[in-house]
Amino acid sequence: MDFLAIGDTTVDEFIRLKDARVNCDLNDENCTISMNWGDKIPYEFSVRVAGVGNAANAAVAAARLGLATGFLSNVGGDDYGKEIIATFERERVDTRFVRVNAGVATNHDYVLWFEAERTILVRHEDFAYAIPEDLPAPKWIYLSSAGRSLEFHLALADWCAKHPETKLAFQPSTFEMALGVEKLAPLYRAAAFVACNKEEAERILALPAESEPATLLEKLRALGPEIAIVTDGPKGAYAADSTGAWFVPMYPDPKPPYERTGAGDACTSTIVAALALGKPLAEALLWGPVNSMAVVQEIGAQKGLLARDALEKLLAEAPASYAARPL
């Protein structure tokens, strides 16, 4: 197995709002959405997307890029759980390590979608995670949002230390960030790769807003990982390893984004997939924003994810300004 993703999965129900008001501070920050309380609010349409989530999106991205991919997760013993497993099987993702929990509901979110942005109403079960005894050592493990057990995260760190042939990529979730770097120190040390957006990096490192990306990369790498990635939305992405640090802008959108869910997951997981395919970091960094661009042209976090030939074609057609530049 080339790539094993570990983490929660859910069913997203997208509700395309027809009329709402968005209010933001200066620079389009700290935005809120408002609708009349007590009214019947019209919406345009709804779409259900099964088998999504940080790690789930990474699994589909890797599989479409040609990697032999598996998924370790949990679903409930309901129709949504069956739908999720069927979704991964269609994507040629190995589901033997997806545990079906009888009598428990599958994670189910509602996505309030207005213009290109969204707010997600989340309800997740506290599923238990464990490392299967028959788990083969993959080339890469991609970990994100894997339940709420510190013990599991530390057990995975220990497993990775005993299997140096496997590289660990870690994309911290909200819960994993809340645990703090001290409790998760063994996991950061075991990781070969860590990725987050700029605001998350500042939170993880307890640094002030507007910290320099080069500083964030340096301090993330000091936690243990060889490679650090920091994304900054439409401003681009940054990467560093022991050989240097680079910046890449966003890949040009062919038209305005339709819906932004999963853009960050697409970028991060595609970089890891490129590394698993043998690409050096500066080249792998260029792959991520291409898949982000494709994802935001569709509904949900996975529909727009590209096959390898399509991604490489877009890279070949990229303007000269789309290049990885040393920091």
How much of the chain exceeds pLDDT 70, in percent?
A: 100
Q: What is the pLDDT of residues 179-198, one digit of tens each?
A: 999 999 999 999 999 999 99
Phi/psi of residue 195, nearest 5 degrees: -145, 145
Structure tokens at 22: 């968005």
Which residues face 11 on adjacent strands?
50, 108
Per-residue b or e along 197-233, where b marks 16 or more CB atoms closer than 10 Å to that residue's CB? bbebbbbbbeeeeeeebeebbebbbebbbebbbbbbe
Is residue 49 within 8 A of residue 14, CB to CB? The reply is yes
Single pTM value for the model: 0.93
The domain spans of the chain are: 3-8+53-106+125-326
Structure tokens at 177: 């960030």
Structure tokens at 122: 């989340």
CATH architecture for segment(s) 3-8+53-106+125-326: 3-Layer(aba) Sandwich (3.40)
pLDDT in tens, the chain (327 residues): 999 999 999 999 999 998 888 888 877 778 888 888 888 888 999 999 999 999 999 999 999 999 999 999 999 999 999 999 999 999 999 999 999 999 999 999 999 988 878 888 998 899 999 999 999 999 999 999 998 899 999 999 999 999 999 999 999 999 899 999 999 999 999 999 999 999 999 999 999 988 999 999 999 999 999 999 999 988 999 999 999 999 999 999 999 988 888 899 999 999 999 999 999 999 999 999 999 999 999 999 999 999 999 999 999 999 999 999 998
Q: How far apart are CA 89 and CA 83, in angstroms?
A: 10
Q: How far apart are CA 111 and CA 47, in angstroms?
A: 10
Structure tokens at 7: 């983490």
The crossing angle, in degrees rounded to 10, of helices 281-295 and 263-276 is 140
Q: What is the distance in angstroms between the CA of the first residue and the CA of the last residue of the chain?
A: 34
Q: What is the pLDDT of residues 208-242, one digit of tens each?
A: 988 999 999 999 999 999 999 999 988 999 999 99
